[in-house]
Chain A
């Protein structure tokens, strides 16, 4: 019924869109025609005096040529990109390259894992799922390479001096990079086209090779960009002393770790968005069931990778602060601090979206009411943590509001603006999301082991202890100096990780052979759940663009921090509003392109043209 109304909607919307577009073309054409330049009336040539225009033009050309010949060759420092300027052009292309690269690196990680599960369990569904994920790779790989080439050329053209400097430091890494890129192409295409053609173990080995090579490529590229932020291995004048030290600079490893995890989260979410796209298009229950399951797995991958991401980000921020107080303050207290409020809002929405999807997923199982009653408590915890995380330290307030607060910081909310509160909030958010997953997992199941009651009590005790411990350390953080407070984040994270591992271990044995009270009805999901998956993917992408801008923008008027100064007209930090606009347009461009990738991937399932034209009725039915 749903599919039928979707098709009806398409039938209606198609002609309407066509008419609107036709109208728009007509209006534009009329507008342009009306503005067409027409020659004004001139007197016949015989009565018009000859003007010296032609001679003047010739003289101008000769003078320009003579000047060009007399000018000695000077190496350009910068060249301008038309209309939007060099910075925005490089920014957008680098961002698009990175987004596709992240996707191409991430998908093989979980595709191989899913394929391995399929091989181990013998369940063909996993193999099909892994293949479906991999189908998205080949076009994405081409787009990554295209944007990579565009980025390289644009750097050479627009920022020749800076690019020369980077080459002088990192030239030994370029050839290995190219070699690895070839290897990546070899592994990727053999992995994709060789699906089902080799022994499963050989195929898995190809997938592992693809992952190793892809990660190595990313590590090399990370060395370049982290060097720009925290240069190392060079003299005071910028001359290279050690390539290895330049690679292994202060922020290299934190970025490597952060990006591997973030790529998986991002890749999982985009793959889930693909599944949602297919689910909404599906016309049969079987298709809906398959894509519902695919979306669930993609989202599961994204959320599992997302949970440790704040800690990896925290480590990176700590290293940046340790490298330079100026960079640290610019990031967290200065010009970029408001972007972290936007970040908090986006991440809060991601957590809420992820939990919401799990709660909706409980509806796949009949009789989920006993579990559903916990939703309100989880939601209250999430909303409170979300508010704490989003509370700004520098509150935007009118003069009257500041005076009534007694200062620029609120006497109560001021406590929520600092790191102790934020760390506590994110840890509780992670615990809560984990609990949502646990509740989802046991929907429709009853533990049958003799120690079920003890097991549940133990799980509850571990969860409560971890939450109390995290909150205690958060409050304790207000009474100790900054360096101790920063150190408290480690036991907080450890408590959360311990709780998750311990509860999972108990749960594994508790529900090893459960009594099933109802079956999971894959495909039995409201359409809104699929839009949540798309929302999560868009939010992830937006977040990556935004935080990438923070990391890159921190250098402010430096190409290489403290070494190569930016002397171009763009050597200023744009306003946050402008930055968010550029990021938004780039994200939009990415989704248009990834939509193209989705469409290409879906062509794979269509019957050949000949078959379609010879059996037109079959298709329409």
Chain B
């Protein structure tokens, strides 16, 4: 969090509290305060699309509050009506009438006056896998299958360790350059990549996927992405051309072991 910004907003709220500001001022203050926090209060900035979403919710919530009782409706409309009808405020009202389109124009200017950027392609992070793929002439069932070496963890732990160690070797020979030493997508090539590689340490990445899904993504890479994963510009190679099936499964074991996560278990459909 950007502490100075949060403290500044809190200070304004405290000041309003002491001044016993009316409901209209409070409504405005909440709206602006929350906007400032969303826009500038986070050290990693929140994307504009999410800020818009949040401010939409904030706007609806504030409107709901100020109109939720007769007393509040009077409290909020009273100053507005006075502002629009009292002769004392005529000049200010005129200025407001001019300011509204001027602000809209300024907003258009700000929106248009942005540095040139590559076009935006929204993408799905986890495109749906096919039900079956063929790797090295062998059909792999992605729905019903699972890592064939996973069961060794219980039945033959020694054997299991060998597979994990083999996965470690494969990872540090092939994957580390993009996915990084600690699997947080900070490898040495990452600055040249768009989109950047998957961060395996992220809780919302491999832990919510089954290991067969990872097998599909590793073996088929960017060229094997389905239509929905447009614009298909990931640099992930189709590793089936360089690795054996066993090496891919071993790497998957290592990914989960290193990040301390477990693949999503295959759920049983209800029995009939």
Residue ranges of A at the interface with B (Cβ–Cβ < 8 Å): 245, 248, 250, 253, 318-319, 321-327, 329-330, 333-335, 337-338, 345, 348-349, 352, 355-356, 359-360, 362-363, 368-369, 372, 375-376, 379, 382-383, 386-387, 390-402, 404-415, 417-419, 478, 481-483, 486, 526, 528, 562, 573
Contact = CB atoms under 8 A, between A and B. Distances in A.
Q: Top 5 A-B pairs ranked by shortest CB distance? A: A333-B126, A330-B128, A397-B47, A322-B267, A481-B262
Contact of A393 (B67, B195, B204, B207): B204
Given A334-B127, A334-B228, A387-B54, A322 B203 contact: no
12 contacts: A325-B143, A333-B127, A333-B128, A335-B127, A372-B68, A375-B65, A390-B53, A391-B53, A397-B120, A408-B195, A481-B262, A483-B265
Nearest to A329: B128
B57 to A, nearest CB: 5
A481 B45 contact: no
A309 to B, nearest CB: 20
Nearest to A420: B203
Contact of A382 (B61, B118, B122): B61
Given A253-B270, A407-B199, 16 more contacts: A326-B130, A333-B126, A335-B127, A335-B128, A352-B64, A375-B69, A390-B53, A396-B120, A399-B194, A404-B44, A410-B50, A481-B262, A482-B208, A482-B262, A483-B264, A562-B131
A326 B127 CA distance: 9
Given A325-B143, A478-B203, A379 B61 contact: yes
A317 to B, nearest CB: 11
Interface in B183-204: 185, 194-196, 199, 202-204
B65 A379 contact: yes
Contacts of B185: 407
Contacts of A418: 203-204, 208
B47 A396 contact: yes
Nearest to A331: B128
B155 to A, nearest CB: 20
Contacts of B130: 326
Interface residues of B, number: 61
Contact of A394 (B125, B128, B208, B212): B125
A412 B54 CA distance: 15
Contacts of A404: 44-45
A352 B263 CA distance: 37
Nearest to B115: A400
Interface string B48-75: 1110011001101100110111110100
B196 A407 contact: yes
Contact of A398 (B47, B212, B264, B269): B47
B265 A372 contact: no
Contacts of B261: 481
Contacts of A392: 50
B42 A325 contact: no
A154 to B, nearest CB: 28
B117 interface: yes
Contact of B125 (A352, A372, A393, A412): A393
A229 B202 CA distance: 32
B264 A482 contact: yes
B166 interface: no
Given A372-B69, A383-B58, A410 B194 contact: no
B124 interface: yes
B268 interface: yes
A530 to B, nearest CB: 14
Contact of A352 (B61, B69, B128): B61
B46 interface: yes
B267 A321 contact: yes
A395 B48 CA distance: 10
B272 interface: yes
A408 B45 CA distance: 12
B5 to A, nearest CB: 14
Interface string B136-161: 00000011000000000000000000
A494 to B, nearest CB: 19
A297 B141 CA distance: 52
Contact of B46 (A337, A375, A402, A410): A410
Given A248-B272, A325-B212, A482 B69 contact: no
Nearest to B131: A326
Contact of A324 (B58, B60, B143, B270): B143
Contact of B69 (A345, A363, A390): A363
B63 to A, nearest CB: 9
